[in-house]
Structure 1
Amino acid sequence: MVAKPQVGGAVRVEILNGCGEAGVARRARAYLRGKGYDILGIGDAKGHFPRTIIVERRSPTNTNARLLARTLRLDETDVTQLLDSLSPVSVTLIIGEDYGKYLPDTVETIQ
């Protein structure tokens, strides 16, 4: 079982749809909110991504990105780093074509 992010220390996530399929970012938002993540926004990625990528924005040790990777059961090789001390988000999740491997079909979407 994967631990939920701690209240007060919630991992703030930006979700970008990089696969082009409508509704995927909303599904991911609903799923991750249910797991205790603070979703700051969703949108479309610039470009097309065959694989999902998690981008660490705050922690030099990738703490937030590794936690999200464990939650989604993604390999830590899918984690990269682009630190920005001024960013309000902890991590950016760029959803790729492989989202079916980790995002349940049964997630109820939230508008």
Structure 2
Amino acid sequence: MSNILPLFITAFILGVSILIGSGLDTEKTVHEKKTVSSVIPSVGRIEVLNGCGIEGAAGKVANFLRSKNFDIKSTANADIWNYPFTIVVSRSLDTTIASQVAAALKTDKMVVIRSNDNLHDVTVFIGPDFGERIQ
């Protein structure tokens, strides 16, 4: 009987181990569905000014740029309405944002005119060619 007891204990431990082990699937891969934010941050602080005198031009260009995730801070009329073409003005020496705006508007007309107001990174002066720029 003394020989059977250790054998019985070993069998019991082995049985419990198999029972516990069969409930665990160590090879099982857990797939978690992660929600990734699809919100793209807005780019820059952009001012759009109507420099062609065509009613609604600044609003149309602003809406186009918003659809490209640019942060339009303001739209208004320029001081003059005889800009011959649309021009992008970088308000800082870093022209990264202005270059992105110019590319979106399909123009190579870009200049740097520094400003001390720090309200805008870029000012877009709208010329009569704006329609072809936002297609």
Alignment of 1:1-111 (within 5 A): 7=41, 10-47=43-80, 48-58=82-92, 60-75=93-108, 78-104=109-135
DSSP-derived class of the 1:22 partner: coil
Amino acid corresponding to residue 79 of structure 1 in structure 2: M
How far is 1:101 from its partner? 1.9
Q: Computing the radius of gyration over CA atoms, which structure comes out larger, 1 or 2?
A: 2
Letter paired with 2:47:
E
Post-superposition Cα deviations, 1:6-63, rounded to whole Å, max 9, x if no partner, equal: 626x2110000000000111111111111101100000011120111111012x1411
State the percentage of identical aligned residues: 33
Query: Could you give the per-residue CA deviations for residues 62-84 of structure 1, whole angstroms, max 9, x where no partner exists?
Result: 11111111111111xx1011112
User: Would you say how many aligned residue pairs link Structure 1 and Structure 2?
Assistant: 95
TM-score computed with the length of structure 1 as normaliser: 0.78
- 1:51 aligned partner, one-letter code: F
Shift of 1:85: 4.7
* Ranges of 4+ aligned residues in structure 1 off by more than 6 Å: none
Structure 1 portions without partners, runs of 5+:
1-5, 105-111
Any stretches of 5+ residues in structure 2 without a counterpart? 1-39
Measure, in 2, the Cα distance between the counterparts of 1:87 and 1:69: 20
